[in-house]
Amino acid sequence: MDSLNTKKFYVTTPIYYVNARPHLGSLYSTLLADVAARYNRLHNKKVFFLTGTDEHGLKIAQAAAAVEKAPKEFVDSFIEPFKDTWKLYNIDYTRFIRTTDPDHVAAVQAWIMRLMQQGLIYKSHYAGFYCTPCETFVTEKDLADNNILNTVPLCPSCGRTTEYVSEESYFFKLSAYQDKLLQFYQENPDFITPRERMAEVVAFVTSGLKDLSISRTTITWGIPFPGDTHHVTYVWADALNNYITGVGYATPGQEKEFNFWWPADLQILGKDIVRFHAIYWPAFLMASNLALPKKLLVHGWIKVGEHKMSKSRGNTVAPLELAVTYGVDQIRYYLVRHLAITQDSPFSYDELEQRINADLAHDLGNLLNRMLTLAIKNNLADVAIPAQWSGASQALHEAEKNTITRFITEMEHGYMNRAYGIVWEYIHEVNKYFHVQQPWKVIKDDQEKFAEIISATCHALYGIAYLCWPLMPKKMEILLDQLGIKMASGSDIFALLLSTPWTKKFNLKNNETVLFKQIEQKKEITMTEEIKSVQKLSSVHQTIGIEDLTKIELRVGTIENVQIVEKSDKLYALKVNFGPFGIRQILSGVRKSFKPDELLNKQALFVCNLAPRMMMGMESQGMMLVAKEGSSLVLMSPATHVTNGTQLS
């Protein structure tokens, strides 16, 4: 984050498309920002944390039309699910901006007017291809790279079919910024974390920048283009500006606020939207005479099997269900610590459960419990400062300082997963210390030494609680409470930990709370009563509304492979081809009713957006529909062959 020397910290997440509830991918970007924000609060900085929703554009307009809703009514219906999820995960944001907020709309219009007055926006004509899911104009370079000059090209980013567009359009003079951008990248090699992403950006800019179309005439769901009612603002020119409008840009009376917060210290985004953030966005800012953000933190994708987790693939995992099943801080820990920023990472229930058991319940939770139980059993609730520290305890303190220094370095560069890897190295050292010192033996003939070991362990846990607070705030508040400590505020806690000797007194609580419970039996992700009540599902008359029905993504697929799952007497593992949506593994308990060749090469109907589930150690990425007649099952096949992937409506 490279911001140790400033007293403020401004962090942003991408703003999310509101055509679906948040999934684990959206949670990931938001969590990284929350951890960064909390870490900077511990440095005693003023923090502004901006997140929100991207509500305009063709993609949203089409999604609204599909459920026969007005766009505004449609987007409104997703705001609570987003806010509820962030609340559940203790995402402590400062502002939730919506691109339909009046101050944002007015500020974007003011921005366009300013650039028009400077001659940086002009009217012309656009003819080319457009990808609605990515809301992006396909560039000539994309076409050339993919060797697709004569046919309708697929989107270079998401691989879906694009549409030919020919319309009058306003253009931003992006081409004027090619050299300035290249110079900026050269002078700021740490602008993007990880550094490797910079190479793609530089290559794209070097190959030549064309002016960017920033208005559309064929849709109405967008910010009206100032002075020209036939046009609405292109969704990215609207959305990117949220990062400045969210802190008061071009809003009367907000100049001081804006000047205080801008530029952003850290902007978090996934690798799919680098081009917008590392090229268009800096060029917009240069054109506006505004400073550029200090750092972009670009993370990889959470994958399910081979594919990016995404709504359109129907392979999303719901944050709500995970939190209820495993606990909020456990999920925060797993996502931030075990997914590497630099690459794509698979999501796996098995790994999640292993990490909870090994890292949280065993390494950290057990350490606290063993120390608390032993101390309290031996009447040592009030832990005083020892007269002298042993060599081993001094070494433990040195190791703590070393940990904090290395932790800060990684956090400042945005490598949060590595930072927490370092913290866990220290937790292992503390465990080793406790084990080697054998306080349960020492108590038999040396009370003073026993108290010294307990105090050193408490100090170490105290440091760990602060290091882990950005990641697991609620659990670390409980840990501090069990040590009898109130969260400090008003000073840079890391500077204090680094500069002061171990002189804390602890007042241990004989608290029965187990910090992290072991998962003894594999969890089943099911719709528990608790989840239902959080989702506020209505059960009146057992009816559902059209919006509930549209949540279920039903598609036709061809069963291309049928394999017996050895450990089960019911299950087949099917490989099902969904055409443009790929091939999925779907486990189905229909072995008693169908022989493999009764299923092979048949088309059937599948639920495609069911959260992936592990069964018998294999992942099922959907569900096959069958009709149950008495005790036999009937396959649901379309009457005539239809294209794989076709959705039922």
Q: How far apart are the first and last CA of the chain?
A: 47
Is position 239 an interface residue for ligand MSP (rule: CB under 6 A)?
yes
Residue 101 binding ligand MSP, by CB under 6 A: no
Of 22 and 128, nearer to ligand MSP (C-beta) is 22
At closest approach, how far in Å is the CB of 15 from ligand MSP? 5
Report angle CA 557, 590, 645 to the nearest 5 degrees. 10
Task: Report the alpha-carbon distance of residue 162 to residue 129 in Å, rounded.
Answer: 6
Between 237 and 479, name the residue whose CB sits nearer to ligand MSP: 237
Site membership for ligand MSP, residue 10 (CB under 6 A): no
- Our CB check for ligand MSP shows the closer of 236 and 433 to be 236
CB of 37 to ligand MSP, least distance (A): 17
* Whole-number CA gyration radius for the chain: 28
Q: Could you give the CA distance from residue 43 to residue 436 in angstroms, rounded to a whole number? A: 34
Which DSSP letter does residue 575 get?
E
Residue 23 near residue 553 (C-beta atoms within 8 A): no
* CA separation for the pair 85, 531 (Å, rounded): 12
Tell me how far, at minimum, the Cβ of 270 lies from ligand MSP, in Å.
2
Interaction between residue 240 and ligand MSP (CB under 6 A): yes
Identify residues 309-348 at the interface with ligand MSP (CB under 6 A).
309-310
Nearer Cβ to ligand MSP, position 273 or 493?
Answer: 273
The count of other CB atoms within 10 Å of the CB of residue 544 is 13
CB atoms within 10 A of CB 584: 26
Find the largest Cα–Cα distance for the chain: 89
Choices 26-34, 371-379, 464-472, 599-607 (CB under 6 A): range interacting with ligand MSP: 26-34
Which residue's structure tokens are 């993504």? 553
Of 1, 21, 29, 502, the residue at the interface with ligand MSP (CB under 6 A) is 29
Binding mask 344-383 for ligand MSP (x = CB under 6 A): ----------------------------------------
Q: Nearest approach, Cβ of 411 to ligand MSP (angstroms)?
A: 20
Phi, psi of 634 (to 5 degrees): -120, 130
Choices 20-28, 110-118, 501-509, 567-575; region in contact with ligand MSP by CB under 6 A = 20-28
Q: Judged by CB under 6 A, does residue 234 bind ligand MSP?
A: no
Distance separating alpha carbons of residues 375 and 435, to the nearest angstrom: 15
Measure CA 392 to chain center.
Answer: 40
- CB of residue 357 vs ligand MSP: minimum separation in angstroms? 25
- Identify the residue among 9, 16, 204, 407 touching ligand MSP (CB under 6 A): 16
User: Shortest approach of ligand MSP to residue 85 CB, angstroms?
Assistant: 13
623-22-214-62 Cα dihedral, nearest 10 degrees? 50
Which pair of tokens denotes residue 25?
């991918």
For 9, phi then psi, to 5°, come to: -145, 120
Across 330-381, the runs of DSSP E, i.e. the strands, are: 345-346
Our CB check for ligand MSP shows the closer of 157 and 402 to be 157
- Contact map string, positions 36 to 75, toward ligand MSP, x by CB under 6 A: ------------------x---------------------
Closest Cα partner for 386 from 498, 485, 501, 495? 501
Residue with smaller CB distance to ligand MSP, 55 or 452: 55
Closest CA to 9 of 61, 48, 55: 48
Size of the site for ligand MSP (CB under 6 A): 21
Neighbours of 500 (CB within 10 A): 9
Quick one: which segment of 144-152, 237-245, 407-415, 608-616 binds ligand MSP (CB under 6 A)? 237-245
Q: How far is the CB of 245 from ligand MSP (least distance, A)?
A: 11
Please state the separation of Cα 176 from the chain's center in Å.
34
- How many CB atoms within 10 Å of residue 166? 10
Site residues for ligand MSP, 254-313, by CB under 6 A, read 269-270, 272-273, 301-302, 308-310
Q: Which is nearer to ligand MSP, 344 or 560 (CB)?
A: 344
| C-alpha–C-alpha distance, residues 630 and 645, integer Å | 30
Specify the stretch interacting with ligand MSP by CB under 6 A; choose among 10-18, 107-115, 459-467, 639-647: 10-18
User: Where along the sequence are the contacts to ligand MSP (CB under 6 A)?
Assistant: 14-17, 25-26, 28-29, 54, 239-240, 242, 269-270, 272-273, 301-302, 308-310
